[in-house]
Structure formats: C-alpha cells, structure tokens
Structure 1
Amino acid sequence: MSAKVISPGPTATILDPSEHLRPEPVHAEKSASQFRDYSVDPEDPLKERVRKTYHDMHTNQTVEFVRSRMADWLRFNKLKMTVKDALIKLNDLVDESDPDSNLPNIVHAFQTAERVRADHPDLDWFHLTGLIHDLGKVMAFYGEPQWAVVGDTFPVGCAWGDHIVYRDTSFEDNPDGKDSRYNTKYGMYKPKCGLDNLMMSWGHDEFLYRVLKHNKSKLPEEALVMIRYHSFYPWHGSGDYSHFCTEKDNENLKWVLEFNKYDLYSKSDTVPDIEKLWPYYEGLIEKYIPGEIEW
C-alpha cells in the first residue's frame, strides 16, 4: 500500500509515512486515515500545538544539542523512582506532539498494554513493554521542553529523511543542515553501520532504553528494541535510513512493527479501569524492573 497524502486544503499537504502500517480500515471507532494527521490548520489549536512542537524540535535537535543532553541525562543522577511511580507521574502529562489524543499519557500506557495482552496473552514481557514504552517522557517534569522529549525521532549527523513529518518546512533554521559534516546522505556515519551506532534525536525512546540498560532490567532484547525505536517512524513506517541498516536491524524491524500496531491504534477515548489493572502490572514490574531505579 502506498503512503497516503493528506490534503488539508490550501494551507499544506503532508505525507503521512505510517499508512502502510494500518492493518484494518477502522480502529477505536476511527478510520485509519484519521490517525497521525499532520495537516496544518492555524485555526485548529491541537494541530497548531503539534506543528509548533515539531518545528521547535526540528530547529533545535542538532548533533551538539543531543551530545549535551546525553552528557546530562546519562549520568542517571536526576532521581530514584519506581516504575509505578513514574507511570503515575504520567497522569499529569499530555503529549504536545500527539495529534490523536488529549488524554493523560498514563491512559495511553494502559490502552497499549491491554491491547498487546489481548493479542499476545503468553508474552508477559510484551504486556509490560506496552505499559512502560513512554516512561522516558518523565524528562518533561525535570526541565526538558516537550520538543526534546516527545514526538517522532530521527538520526542527527546526516541528511534528514524524506518522510519526517513537516520535513519540507521545519528544518530551515537547523544549523546542521548547513554543516558539511552532517548534511550528506551518510554524514558522520558509515554505510550499514547499524541503527545502534546512529545518534538519534534526543527524546523519550532513547532515554528509557538507556535507563533500562543502566538499571539492568530483565526485559528481553526484543522489548528494548521496541522501546528504543517505536517513535522512529521515518525508518519503520517508510524505509528511510535503510542504508544504515544491518541484517540484525532488518530482523528487529518485525518486532517494532508489531509493537506499533498497539501503540498507534490503541488511542481512543475509552479509558481502561486502571485501578483494577494495577495488581497484574505491578507483578510484571516486580518480575522485570523491581524496586527504585535510577533516572
């Protein structure tokens, strides 16, 4: 299936790279084309919020910026907190990059986890992955602007992929685009170097992946791959950056795609009974990521 071009009128035409991920025509009482609608409408507050978040992201996410955030956050000295406490904290966060939901992030966490659980009842680590995949967004409570926390990710240090949302209008003021070290197809990397050798734009995916590695979680590698790349839509949604991929990356892609069915299509106004679900997921947290962990 080819990617769908969304034409919102005279103001913009946005290419949505996720169209071929959609396995069914209707999800959560919404047609597939209603998800990930990045059309521009200055009169629509939600769409303007999303557009501005991405504009700020694409202006400021540079090699230098990402290195600075890694140097700061990867000391893991901000706080100690259990996974459950981090999830509860997400009750106060609405993702400013999300065109599909205005609900607190904890609701999306349980929606995703329960959809995974229904389809994969025997993979309890997958259920927990669905629940925690956005926990890196706690950075928004500790000084990071949302454009450095949420939204789709992309590598810095090389030419920007064709299918990044708002690609044609949002990178004009990013200085890396004028830097010959970073603005070519391969930039500061080598062909087939592997995705794990790319420096991704700073956000919740990379941070949570690093937190789980640092704290020696017992989640399998498949879970860590899903967490690290679930927002890397230009790659898993459209095939951008395939010139960096190894056979291992191509194998991992199937897990990321499987996860994203639940991440994307679980968003609805139906709120799970979170209090009723806590005991099951507390058991999984204790099994795979127990106690207070360092963030």
Structure 2
Amino acid sequence: MIHLEQKSLSLTNINTVAVRYLGTGCSFGELHYNFRLGKSTITGIVREVCEALWEKVTKNVMPEPSEDIWKKIAKDFEKYANFPNCIGAIDGKHIRITKPKDSGSLYYNYKTFFSIVLLALCDSNYCFTFIDIGSYGKSSDSAIFKNSAFYKRLIEKSLHIPKPKPISETDPKPLPYVIVGDEAFGLSENVMRPYAAGKGLSYEKKIFNNRLSRSRRFIECTFGILANKWRIFHRPINVNIDFAEDIIKACCVLHNFVRTRDGIQYEDTLHTAPMSNLITLHAGRGTPSSLNIRDKYANYFVNEGRVEWQDTKI
C-alpha cells in the first residue's frame, strides 16, 4: 500500500513519478530533487506502480492469445511479411543491471556486463504477446529459451495454437503454425529458424532466409521502440532482481498500451536508436526432426508463394 509520505500525493503525481523514472532513466536520487520526495518514497512509488501495471493492465493490453487471435496474427504476418502461418517473431535481449548482491558471476554475460534476459514474442503490430523475464545473463542462449515458461507450454501444446493449415492450393497437406526466430532458437514443429549461412547455400534456402528475416524484423523493431520510449533501458537498472523484473514487465505493458492507443508508423520503426544495452542472443542448436517442415516452407516461397521482389533481396 501507499506509504505515509505518499498519502498526500495525488494519483496523478504518483503515476508521474513512476513514468518519469521509466521514461527518462533518471536515478532515484535525481527524482528526489525533482519532486522533493524522499528516496525511499520514490522507490516505493515506482515499485507499487510497476506491480499494479502488471497485475491490473496486462490482461487488457497483453492478453493470452486464443485460437482466433493466433489466426488473426498469422493473417497479418502474411499480409505484411509474406510469411503464411506465422504467429509471431521471437528474440531475447540482455537487459543491463548492476551486480546483484552475493550473485558471483551468475548474471555476468558473454558481453562482459551483468544482465537478466527479456525473452519476448511479438505480433506484426509491434506489440508483445508473451514475455519471459529473469534468466541469468550467464545462461547459454539455448537454455534461456528451453527454460522459459513459454517453451514449456509450447511443448505441452497448451498455448491454443490452431491446428496445422495448408498454405498452398496445389499441396493440400497442412503445415503447422510457426514462430520465427534466429539461430539461437532450435528448429522444431512450431519454431522456424534460418538455414545456416555458407557459400553452398541454395537459391531456395537463401529465399527462405530472407523471408524469415523479413518476419523477424518485427521483434527487432519492437525492442527498438521499447528502448526508445522507455529510457530506463539506456543505463544499468540499479535495483534488486525482483524489482528489476517488475520494472521490465511494467515497461512492456506500457509499450503495448501506448502502441494500442497511439499506434506507430511502420517506417518509423526502421530508424530506431541503437540499443547498446539490449544485446541480441547468439546461436543455439536446432531440431533435425523439423527439417522437412522448413523445407516445405522454403519450397513454397520459390513456387506458389513467390513474390516479385524477392530475387533482389538475396
């Protein structure tokens, strides 16, 4: 609940303090001088607002997708990225934090800073559909995904993903709905990643990689918009781990709220500021059993699913 010193503040002022912290990246000390409030009061305000945003607003701006919502997302990805049956783009970013007390090297990542990982899935409107926060920065990239709640539900088939659907009029065999990611994400029935780059990569595989990259750009842009709007991500988050997770979750909720309310032009997302504090995860191993599914998508992209501009992109 609101502390004694906060009771004299209006709800507007309380929210202003929290949004100023998230939006500017100011320290609690800087906000102490700006608002003439004690540091402990400001800390309490920010934490309580972040917790309330996650508990009260998430269901409205980041609801768990139903089967119909997944189908709508897939329809939009096909429209904007020319990738059928795609229900999202996934990626992970290392969020800078100060070294947690008594944590040793658990949060020290390969980029030589302390971090926790934000794993996120987005739609083609640059809104987050799922987020998973808290993996150690030291964790291997493949382990981060496989240890996430999202992955466990994907394996358990409890995400309400629609049944496979044909993408071709000439081949009635249905293909599963898929999520697109980079090399960090193992190939599986519902997760597509690019073919490994190399000199011997065939035309068909190059086209597939380009089409997948075009779809993956949505999550890169989503992270870019997040970091540009909420500048707390431009410096190490100097709070304990639980509080840091609350801050990140609140920013993702606010991102969706602002995106839904104000919208953003697609072109604007291509000019986002560099995200020096959000580091892209690197390669992990794939799942050989799903090679056939990827090959069928690749074959579709050079035949019935061909688009006129694709040869200029490889």
TM-score (norm 1): 0.28
Greater C-alpha Rg: 2
More strand per residue: 2
Q: Which has the higher relative contact order, 1 or 2, with Cα contacts under 8 A spaced 6 or more apart?
A: 1
